[in-house]
A and B are shown apart, each in its own frame.
Chain A
Amino acid sequence: GAVVSQHPSRVICKSGTSVKIECRSLDFQATTMFWYRQFPKKSLMLMATSNEGSKATYEQGVEKDKFLINHASLTLSTLTVTSAHPEDSSFYICSATGEFPEAFFGQGTRLTVV
């Protein structure tokens, strides 16, 4: 299958700072990328959908000013958690689709806000 690389895999930041998470499709062009949040022992919750060159579409209840998504190229999307607080601590996962019908997921980023 296609490879999606997510970086960093783990990050610890201080409350009030911003953190950027990168999602790259390594061997295909990702026309659509999705960002999910997952709490321990819970399912994946879709946060937003981004199409290359367009503004992201956020799910209901997701603060677009807190979770900034940029999909400037066909191989890179970024999620920036702005002014992070402890309640933003979670596992964030991206997925990407392109010429394949399937979605391929990154390895996830464990964010801890202290």
Chain B
Amino acid sequence: QQQVKQSPQSLIVQKGGISIINCAYENTAFDYFPWYQQFPGKGPALLIAIRPDVSEKKEGRFTISFNKSAKQFSLHIMDSQPGDSATYFCAASMGWGATNKLIFGTGTLLAVQP
């Protein structure tokens, strides 16, 4: 119930392509869904977050799509660049914002080939 399932485990995309990472959850009490980007040897950095009252949120090249009925959400990276190569984690928590503990997905290692 507390798990967040993330796929794929790894992803290779050509420069300029669209990277898509998917997450699914079971606990309907979750109502905050952030995505984090992590480079090797660094801490995660918040990319974008969404609440379940909206179906899509876009910030620059990053878009979250949220399907409440299916309990799924995804990250789309448009016009992927080599600098986007990193590990991406989805997460979920109960209560708006991370004052409640985050449950992380297993991570997706993205490689964008030039």
Report which A residues bind B (CB closer than 8 A): 1, 4, 6, 31-32, 34, 41-44, 46, 49, 91, 93, 95, 97, 100-108, 110
The number of A-B residue pairs with CB atoms under 8 Å apart is 62
Q: Roughly how many angstroms separate A95 CA and B100 CA in the complex, as a whole number?
A: 12
Given contacts A44-B44, A95-B43, A105-B46, 13 further A-B contacts (CB under 8 A): A1-B45, A1-B46, A34-B101, A34-B102, A43-B107, A95-B98, A95-B102, A97-B97, A97-B98, A102-B98, A103-B98, A104-B46, A106-B43
Instruction: Evaluate contact between A107 and B101: CB separation under 8 angstroms.
Output: no
- Residues of chain B with a CB closer than 8 A to A110's CB: 41
- In the assembled complex, which residues on chain A have CB atoms less than 8 Å from the CB atom of B101? 34, 46, 49
Could you say which of A1, A102, A107 has the most chain B C-beta atoms within 10 Å of its C-beta? A102
B65 part of interface (Cβ distance < 8 Å): no
Complex Cα spacing A46 to B45, Å: 16
Task: Determine the distance from Cα of A13 to Cα of B3 in the docked complex, in whole angstroms.
Answer: 34
A41, A43, A108: the one within 8 Å of B43 (CB):
A108
B96 pairs with A93, CB closer than 8 A: no
Task: List chain A residues, Cβ under 8 A from B32.
Answer: 101
Cα A35 to Cα B32 with chains together (Å): 19
